[in-house]
Amino acid sequence: MSLESLRNSLPDYARDLKLNLGSLASETVLTDQQRDGCFVVSALASRSPVVTSALVAEFGPKLSPEALTAAKAAAAIMGMNNIYYRFTHLVGGDYANMPARLRMNVMAKPGVDKVDFELWSISVSAINGCGMCLESHEKVVRQHGVTQEQVQAAVRIAAVVHAVAAVLDGEAAAVGAPAVAAAA
Concerning whether 130 is annotated as a catalytic residue, the answer is: yes
* Residue 157: CB atoms within 10 Å: 28
Out of 133, 151, 154, 182, the active site residue is 133
Give 12's DSSP letter: G
Comparing C-alpha atoms, which of 164, 174, 162, 144 is closest to residue 19? 164
Those residues whose C-beta lies under 8 Å from the C-beta of residue 144, and which sit 6 or more positions away, are: 114, 115, 118
Comparing C-alpha atoms, which of 55, 76, 73 is closest to residue 158? 55
Write the Ramachandran bin of 153: left for phi over 0, alpha for psi from -120 to 50, otherwise beta: alpha
Write the Ramachandran bin of 147: left for phi over 0, alpha for psi from -120 to 50, otherwise beta: beta
Q: State the Cα–Cα distance between residues 176 and 72, nearest whole angstrom.
A: 30
Out of 10, 17, 77, 130, the active site residue is 130
| Catalytic residue ranges | 130, 133
